[in-house]
Chains A and B, each alone.
Chain A
């Protein structure tokens, strides 16, 4: 059962140099109660996708086509007032750098109270009790004390826990976590991912985890969507995609992961660079960097080939094998 589905999403940014194509047609479905990893290199459109869902893109961004189905409505066509009811209450967001995403001039307790007040009218005492419960549920020691402090008095890991408490405040059904561990130490990263997994299980929340780290996806997610230059190149269950990646880009990404025992040998890299968003791309966006590139890869876009019910990739290599 999909709780959220993104269909054919196109987003471009108006810049002085012309339109920058950030998303060139993204499709994926978030199943209820699952964690879906949205992976790709910097600039592939992961964060833009996340922000499009909550309609938090900058003023120069424009959604040129697509649908974001959530329950019975298309989020892209809801009026702003209805959108405000969705944000925080139905779909919440966690940001990359909690040090800047928390307001420096308000205590954690005040920030929690603001969110609670916006979504659940009630007495101040009830809000306070809820705040303390939330802080306890994200594993912050001494919630009463934490509620009184300002963000700069917390460590990075504690800040991210407070940020997660904020996102949980209005009991959302979906959380979009935009690189929630990138700004943290490795040991803290593992703790935050554990926390996300636990909360997702306990509260039956569906999560979109935006990351560039395939290791994080392998540990945390059930589904994975691989983006390249604003398009989905491969998607499916982590259990299906990771052992047998079908798109040359996914294969390259997985091969580029450092592995235990590979010490001393060169890291594998994918040659070349991500295409600029200013270019129009007619064929496969990965063609210039692909070692299997064929003529038709440059002429038109490959369609998705399904390998199982839960795994498909957009590459002519497989179209060829299916067609014979």
Chain B
């Protein structure tokens, strides 16, 4: 019961945040000194052309009415149309968004699967070689710029060793001879559904390097947070009590202490997941990954407002969803949080 009311309250908060971002993006897009009509019309338009386009796009209407139309379209699931390519943004995002999400989810999974056990062990054996080694890796992961790491990774694993491809999501051979039937847009999932294992391995092969590079930051954060909160949890009285009760060390570390230590780590991992969506933009560019990053970079260069706003909103929705998910997981783990 407490859990349901917690969930409802938390959902209500998310709606408030979303409305705030909606307002903000709308206002920013309307007060920026630029001329969307002229952009839409192309090179050297005549004033009457611009006026006609403004009428067509509804830019001549009062702001309140424009906002009404904007919200109405959004609620209907319509993100609008690119000024530049005249393509539907919904259609574009249905191609680019899964590519980015596949990359980001892979990166965060790597960060969690490696970061949490490493953080636990580093916290359990402080001031040892392992502790110092992980501190070094974690701080390097957080501070090394991703574009530099991407270039080094390409130079080592493509140029020197020749183990992994230079970039893109899939090889030309795969697209030509065993194409993936698009369903979700996630190559690994689509290929698995159609049991197209050749393409699946090809897609995985392409995913490894960009995902590893992108995971450096969340990995560093996960290790450091898990380690710090493990150190704290292990100094708590309930850990001494568990030792006094003769519980095995494995249970104390990975069950009793970790469940307490994972809470602050989760918060930060949630934030770094959302952060990775924007962080992916640089990595995507270097690895020619056809994702939202590349899409929005072009939109920015062309001052293509509807695209920029749409991507901003989508990223916001992910921030909200991930944070909601983190809060729900935390409330699930810690009964005390359901009361707040």
Contact = CB atoms under 8 A, between A and B. Distances in A.
Nearest to B235: A58
Nearest to A176: B244
Interface residues of A, number: 31
Given A97-B237, A114-B251, A118-B251, A103 B256 contact: yes
Given A103-B238, A105-B259, A56 B243 contact: yes
B76 interface: no
Interface stretch (B134-142, B180-188, B285-293, B328-336): B328-336
17 contacts: A54-B244, A56-B243, A86-B246, A87-B246, A88-B247, A92-B244, A92-B245, A93-B241, A95-B241, A97-B237, A103-B241, A103-B260, A104-B260, A105-B334, A115-B245, A118-B245, A153-B335
Interface in A70-93: 84-89, 92-93
A278 to B, nearest CB: 24
- Name which of A85, A89, A102, A105 has the most chain B CB atoms within 10 A of its CB: A105
Interface residues of B, number: 21
A106 B259 contact: yes
A94 B256 CA distance: 18
Contacts of B237: 95, 97, 100-101
Contact of B245 (A104, A150, A153, A166): A166
Interface in A93-134: 93, 95, 97, 100-106, 114-115, 118-119
B236 A87 contact: no
A87 B240 contact: no
A201 interface: no
A170 interface: yes
A146 interface: no
Interface of A: 54, 56, 84-89, 92-93, 95, 97, 100-106, 114-115, 118-119, 150, 152-153, 163, 166-167, 169-170
Residues of B contacting A: mostly:
helix
Interface string B305-340: 000000000000000000000000000011110000
B333 A93 contact: no
B42 interface: no
A88 B244 contact: yes
A52 B88 CA distance: 72
Nearest to A99: B237
Contacts of A56: 240, 243-244
